[in-house]
Every structure is written in C-alpha cells, then in structure tokens.
Amino acid sequence: MPLYPIQTFFSQVKLGEGGRYIEWDGEIDFCADALWFEAHPNDNLLNPSTTEFV
C-alpha cells in the first residue's frame, strides 16, 4: 500500500504563475519547458550534445 495515495497527491496539483509550470504546495514544481526538453532531448538547441543545429 502506498504511503500517500496517488489520487490525493494529484488532486493537490496547481498551475503556477502564467500556467508555465505545475506545483504541489510550493515544494515540488515542474517547468513546462524542462519537461518538454526531457522528453525531446535532441530538439534542445541549447544542449551542446545535440547532433546538429538547424
């Protein structure tokens, strides 16, 4: 049994200022851009390890 029920955890999420991130009571936050770049590492033009610049 989980220590903290998942439904309770996700019911507490809030949108941050301007809708650019999500947060839980100011302790955990996820930036929209950071999440996108995590999912698409080869599309990050600021990352020097990308294969080529467009």
Name, in order, each residue with C-beta under 8 angstroms of 20's C-beta and a sequence gap of 6 or more. Answer: 31, 32, 33
pLDDT in tens, 1-54: 566 788 888 899 999 888 889 998 868 888 988 888 888 888 766 655 655 544
Check residue 14 and give its pLDDT.
Answer: 92
Check residue 46 and give its pLDDT.
Answer: 64
Identify the helix (H) or strand (E) that includes residue 11: helix 6-11
Check residue 23 and give its pLDDT.
Answer: 92
Check residue 2 and give its pLDDT.
Answer: 62
* Separation CA 8–CA 24 (nearest Å): 11
